[in-house]
Amino acid sequence: MEHRIVGPGPYRATRLWNETVELFRAGMPVRRHRCRFRRYERCFTAAEAVDWLHALLRTSRNFGPEVTREQTVQLLRKFLKNHVIEDVQGQWGQEDFEDSRRLYRFPPSSPLKPYPKKLSFQKDVIKLPEWSDPPPGASQESIPVKPIVMNSEMWFKRHSIAIGEVPTCRLVHRRQLTEASVEEIWKSMTLSHLQKILGLDSLEEVLDVKLVNSKFIIHNVYNVSKQGIVVMDDKSKELPHWVLSAMKCLANWPNCSDWKQPMYLGFEKDVFKTIADYYGHLKEPLLTFHLFDAFVSVLGLLQKEDVAIEAFQLCCLLLPPENRRKLQLLMRMMARICLNKEMPPLCDGFGTRTLMVQTFSRCILCSQDEVDLDELLAARLVTFLMDNHQEILKVPLALQTSIEERVAHLRRVQIKYPGADMDITLSAPSFCRQISPEEFEYQRAFGSQEPLAALLEEVITDARLSNKEKRKKLKQVTRHVHPLVYLANVGPGELNLGPLALQKNALTTKPSLQLWAEFL
């Protein structure tokens, strides 16, 4: 039996716990055992339980082959405390499970962890400035445009285009973006991107968005050194000098010429213990308690490495700057130690890589309630983080560019015409409909005649023009309008034009029609 892949989503740690419990109860071999001259049915020894569960966890794609035997023992201690198992005397509730020959059994009913009830939550939608928002303390500024007075010369130059009054326009000033508005944009777009990557309908079950500090995000993006390490404004939140010196010593081993202390046998082990003690006594893990579910949810994406790296990038942006800086320095040290072949063994019982994961996983990630698979999940996360820390702990440039362009867009002054809405979503493009050759020829021959006829009708029926002005305009129009359209809309006796009627007859001659055909 093996674990199925538990993907990202709410309550992932609880889902993993329940599935592990079910697999353990269904697959763990039980048999008759003797202890102190007594027989016990359907039970197993502690060592047998460690062997079987360790093999299950190592083959699981949710945990991986780097799960140690000691982590398996720790999980079985939690099983005993939560009454997943009990000793053959029916005792449970203590964390005294040891890798031994002591007998245990399954209780009649094994309680699975209940899923928390989903609380009703109304998502706060951050309202971004609209185009029509007036500037603070001022009314909309309109720029009236005087109607253009058309004389005959200008009118003739416009051919068949009917010119009316130019519509009035106005400058649209955006609402002044305050510092708080910019911070809300950073927070909103970062969380929206994270939600999209995780494929969730809402982040409310993996993250309390009210606890996300937008100032942390902005600081982590812009206040960085050339090496990409967060720079602190408050120097009291820096790592103590002695810890930083110890980390530099191990990261640059054996180049420790700047150290004045005498080197002795086992010196590197003492330096490592100093660093481990400092990180082991932090008040909360570097990834914080309230981001535990978010990081655990991202662990469900490890099968898609690129997506997981991007999701971890966003989650790490939410960290307090001092936590992010400590995490960056720690990851750099761990990676360099693991790659340094000159480094002496720091522990006799573990390899260097395993030692790094086991020593620092709890100070990087752990749950607040201490009754979870956090040891296994933390080891899985730290292993992936150590292998990809350079990508994960750098600023996501695509997100930064997107947000900066959004802020710049909101600060621009725009010209808006009546009836125009510059913020609407553009409709999908329409596509041309194929027509028959006959319909194409008909449209080419007569498609422009209706607007031209409407223009002639407008000139003839305009009561503001005298007959003399109408004659003059119609005479000029004949130079640019198809003669057939002209004849169809202006009869020979219209307005008693006299010589103009002769001109119309002349335009209908064959050479003239050929000339128009060439022109069109």
Comparison of pLDDT for 455 and 399, the residue scoring more: 399
Is it the case that residue 165 has pLDDT exceeding 70?
A: no
Rounded to the nearest 10°, the torsion over CA 403, 404, 407, 408 is -150
Q: Average pLDDT, stretch 246-263?
A: 74
pLDDT tens for each residue of 138-159? 443 334 444 555 555 555 555 4
Residue 171: what pLDDT? Answer: 58
295 pLDDT higher than 90: yes
Averaged confidence pLDDT in the chain: 79
Give the per-residue pLDDT at 135. Answer: 46
Of the ranges 268-277, 326-335, 367-376, which one carries the lowest mean pLDDT score? 367-376
Q: Is the pLDDT of residue 335 over 70?
A: yes
Bridge partners for 103 per DSSP:
45
Which comes out higher in pLDDT, residue 504 or 324? 324
Predicted local distance difference test score (pLDDT) of residue 409: 85
| pLDDT category of residue 516 using cuts at 50, 70 and 90 | very low
Question: Which residues pair with residue 416 across a beta bridge?
Answer: 170
Query: Based on the number of CB atoms within 10 Å of its own CB, is 146 exposed (0-12), middle (13-18) or buried (19 or more)?
Result: exposed
Phi and psi, residue 92, nearest 5°: -160, 175
Sorted by sequence, the CB contacts under 8 Å of residue 38 that are 6+ apart come out as: none
The whole-number pLDDT of residue 90 equals 85
Alpha-carbon gap, residue 86 to 32, rounded angstroms: 16
Q: What is the pLDDT of residues 187-212, one digit of tens each?
A: 999 999 999 999 988 888 889 999 99
Q: Tell which wins on pLDDT, 276 or 91.
A: 276
The DSSP code sequence of 308-323 is HHHHHHHHHHTS-HHH
Angle, helices 46-59 vs 69-81, to 10°: value is 110
| pLDDT confidence tier of residue 400, bands split at 50, 70 and 90 | very high
**With 60 as the cut, is the pLDDT of residue 242 above it?**
yes
- pLDDT, tens digit, 9 for 90 and up, residues 347-396: 887 889 999 999 999 999 988 876 678 889 999 999 999 999 999 999 99
Give the pair of three-digit tokens for residue 60: 């699981």
Q: Cα separation of 328 and 266, whole Å?
A: 27
> What number is the average pLDDT over the span 65-79?
91
Contacts of 121 (CB under 8 A, 6+ apart): 202, 204
Q: How large is the average pLDDT for residues 306-314?
A: 95
Beta bridge partners of 171: 141, 415
**119-128, 263-272, 426-435, 455-464, range with the lowest pLDDT:** 119-128
- Residue 1 Cα distances to 19, 23, 423, angstroms: 11, 7, 55
Name the percent of the chain in helix, strand, coil, to the closest 5: 50, 5, 45
φ, ψ for residue 19, nearest 5 deg: -70, -40
Taking residues 103-119, report their average pLDDT: 78
Reading phi first (left if > 0) and then psi (alpha if -120 to 50, else beta), residue 496 is in left
